[in-house]
Structure 1
Amino acid sequence: MADIQGSYDDLFTAVPRALAELLDGGDVGGSVAVFVDGEPVVDVWGGFADAGRTVPWQRDTVVGVYSVTKTMTALCALILADRGELDLDAPVARYWPEFAALGKEKVLVRHLLSHTAGLPDWDGPVEELYDWASATARLAASAPQWEPGTAAGYHSLTQGFLVGEVVWRVSGRSVGEFFAEEVAGPLGADFHLGLGAEHDGRLALTVPPPGRDEDYTASAPGNEAAPGTALRVRDGNSVAWRRAQIPAAGGFGNARSVALVQSVMACGGTVGGVRLLSAAGCARAWEEQFSGDDLRLGMPVRWGLGYGLFGSTFGWGGWGGSLVMIEPEARMVVAYVTNQMREPAGDNRGLEIVISAYDGLTGLRG
């Protein structure tokens, strides 16, 4: 069985076992964390940080988590809303006047967070993602594809720029700066919206699915031909990608940092004595904004404010398999990050990890 490092409560032995089984099944590397009441009950890692399997995954290895990043960007907006600085029911154009062009004057801030704004597709070149001013100007000059609020279509790359620009207009700071100063810094969380050169030595690059190369592109399980510019693994592994702020998909961290940050949402806004928002501000995240078929994902989805809703839990996953799931009733967060991609259809690794964590929770609460 694969060698698993780290620590875990004896009630949660199913979690490291599940990670070991994934590594034994061919995955390169990854880490898992389970936090209850803001404290780690599982913090484990294993495998390798490189495709050649020569560099062991370490405690401080970080990896790109792609769309798990959306939960971090949403948290920034929810903090501003909780402080009364951002009105989620206000038109986006109140904060970003140029955005009102071409019929977007009725797009509300909550539409950005719930994928109902009508701007799901990135139609520019990949290189433009690395230039904030160009990317946001392109979106401001775009027409919505449907009446805002009436339908949902997963804004896989665009959501981060849309929410991030609002954060910048309200706070005077980029979303990466806001996150670092208001979230990661106070919590001591090793998560980054964009990665500085000083961290390159501990980065695990993304490994394409077996039989694929770095030209492998992102697609949803039910929608292989989604419109817009295709993102390749080689793009996500590029220096330009990690130096940029791409707040829908350009976050880097490990399972520990993901679980620590999102424990804020599981624990009523306060973790480790650090209060980031009120209990009511947390509860906003799982207020249903849309329920039905998502036009881009090609499957039924329930959207809250920046999070997908799944029964009594909420959270989201990223391209390649990383995932965070928040269970507010149990004050639990489960995070799984990996450098090993699999084909989206049939990739249940994150779900397997979550189920293994519930085994431990049953014993803890019993």
Structure 2
Amino acid sequence: MVDVQGTVEDGFEPVRDAFTANFTRRGERGAAVAVYRHGRKVVDLWAGTKHGDGGDDLGPRDAGRPDTPWQADTAQVIRSATKGIAALVPLLLHQRGLLDLDAPVGTYWPEFKAAGKDRVLVRHLLSHRAGLPVLDTPLTPAQAIDGVSGPAALAAQAPAWTPGTDHGYHAQTYSWLLAELVLRVTGRTIGDWIAEEIATPLDLDLWLGLPQDQQSRAGRLSAVETPPQPASGGLRVRPKRSVADAYGDPESLTSRAFGAITPPPDENAPAYRAAPLPASAGIATARSLARCYAALTGPVDGHPRLFAPATLTLARTEESAGPDRTLVVNTRFGLGFMLHSAASPLLAPGSFGHPGRGGALAFADPESGLAFAYITNGMQRGITADPRAQSLVKSLPTP
């Protein structure tokens, strides 16, 4: 029997039941879930092993034994759920009058104007409409984190379609596009900006660029099998051409977008975790991730809300919808956030947030006042609509 730690308030007991069932029925190894309601924490649960490879005979590791229990302060790489946290930066810069969402990116990053990109707007980067999901020459893992090679490659890259006319998920290139834009506007790395302007004021265990003295906090990711599930929403629903088909075609935008770093980086390596890659390398506890989303829509423990009403509207106003050139299925995006859809179910039509490939999910739902975060070290197949995350979402009180 799994030993679930933490607390739930009255009315949220079904979340504990669903969380327990993830371990007994859905292949979970180590995970945490947290929920805030109207700025107050109402769910804070964790269980399993700190490392996704828990129980394997791996020998000594600096990160600890593979069967180390998940602790209250265990953090985890959240993959593309990072994109939602990173999107706070340009939106807050816009709120402060420092960034014009309708300005050409080249206004702030002159080298970016090359190869027919002079009309790419800042909002195109955030809504996956820039036409830049792939690189003609993929980066090596070392180049991906050096802070120079990615922006240089994208400055020289020609768009795959006329910017602004269509959308396709910028799975990896979102990192270098957003990081360089923020650097040009603020003079700070996006990781430093998040640390100084968001994480420290809100007392969050959330990093985009994990410091050396915090490396031991993070558990190891590991691929795990996905138990058979009933047919449901998300990218497991097979369209005319599935994501799996697209992955199998090395020339497809899908394969090339997710392969913009080749070979794939070791996400458990300290160097990767220390890199401020806003598409994929954020590290957080579920508690802090939910707290961050809660702070977007209302005060939290005396801290004022981060988003002004107009900024909140921008975050969840649909910018892109329909067939996604990268993900194949229909997707919906606001400015940096995924919006509720069949491909990426959140809580309700007004919810906004972001999933992480393999499991993680975080979002806010302003109408119900709920903010939700789920993190895991067991990476199952799928990009959105992970069955473990969805079981938890479905256990929440109906908005």
Q: Normalized against structure 1, the TM-score is what? A: 0.91
Query: What code does the residue aligned with 1:182 have?
Result: E
Which residue matches 2:54?
52
Which residue matches 2:377?
339
Which residue matches 1:309?
339
Contact 2:92–2:307 under 8 Å retained in 1: yes
Superposed, which structure 2 residues align to 1:166-245 within 5 Å?
Answer: 166-210=181-225, 223-225=246-248, 226-227=255-256, 228-229=259-260, 235-245=266-276
Deviation of residue 231 (structure 1)?
A: 6.3
* Alignment CA distance shift 1:210-1:121 (3 Å): same
Contact 2:141–2:264 under 8 Å retained in 1: no
Deviation of residue 88 (structure 1)?
A: 0.3
Instruction: Report which of the two has the higher share of helix.
Output: 1
Superposed, which structure 2 residues align to 1:122-161 within 5 Å?
Answer: 122=135, 123-161=138-176
| Alignment partner of 1:249 out of 269, 280, 294 | 280
Query: What code does the residue aligned with 1:356 have?
Result: S
Contact 1:126–1:229 under 8 Å retained in 2: no
Query: What code does the residue aligned with 2:377 have?
Result: N
Q: Percent identity?
A: 40
Query: What code does the residue aligned with 2:282 have?
Result: G
How far, CA to CA, are the matches of 2:5 and 2:264 in structure 1? 28
Q: Which runs of 5+ in 2 are unaligned?
A: 56-66, 227-241, 249-254, 341-348
How far, CA to CA, are the matches of 1:30 and 1:222 in structure 2? 30
Contact 2:215–2:270 under 8 Å retained in 1: no
Deviation of residue 358 (structure 1)?
A: 2.8
SS at match of 2:73: coil
Superposed, which structure 2 residues align to 1:35-50 within 5 Å?
Answer: 35-50=36-51
Contact 2:222–2:379 under 8 Å retained in 1: yes
SS at match of 1:10: coil
The CA deviation string for residues 307-360 of structure 1, in whole angstroms up to 9 with x for no partner, is 11112211110022000122111121111000001111873221111111235x
Which residue matches 1:6?
6
| Alignment partner of 1:83 out of 64, 78, 96 | 96
Which residue matches 1:109?
122
The CA deviation string for residues 6-38 of structure 1, in whole angstroms up to 9 with x for no partner, is 111021011111111111233110000011111
Pair 1:165 & 2:180 matched:
yes
Q: Normalized against structure 2, the TM-score is what? A: 0.84
Deviation of residue 96 (structure 1)?
A: 0.4
Deviation of residue 39 (structure 1)?
A: 1.2
Cα RMSD after superposing both structures: 1.9
More divergent stretch after superposition (97-106 vs 127-136): 127-136
* Alignment CA distance shift 1:233-1:104 (3 Å): closer
Deviation of residue 127 (structure 1)?
A: 2.1
| Alignment partner of 1:274 out of 303, 323, 330 | 303
Which residue matches 1:214?
none
How far, CA to CA, are the matches of 1:221 and 1:326 in structure 2? 30
Aligned residues: 351
Contact 2:172–2:260 under 8 Å retained in 1: no
The CA deviation string for residues 205-259 of structure 1, in whole angstroms up to 9 with x for no partner, is 1011239xxxxxxx95673242134667762122221121111101001111111
SS at match of 1:274: coil
SS at match of 1:325: strand
More divergent stretch after superposition (14-23 vs 77-86): 14-23
* Alignment CA distance shift 1:86-1:221 (3 Å): farther
Contact 1:323–1:335 under 8 Å retained in 2: yes
The CA deviation string for residues 57-97 of structure 1, in whole angstroms up to 9 with x for no partner, is 00000010000000111001110000010000000000000
| Alignment partner of 1:348 out of 387, 391, 396 | 387
Deviation of residue 121 (structure 1)?
A: 1.9
How far, CA to CA, are the matches of 2:364 and 2:262 in structure 1? 28
Contact 1:35–1:42 under 8 Å retained in 2: yes
Deviation of residue 293 (structure 1)?
A: 0.5
Q: Which runs of 5+ in 1 are unaligned?
A: 212-218
* Alignment CA distance shift 1:232-1:257 (3 Å): farther
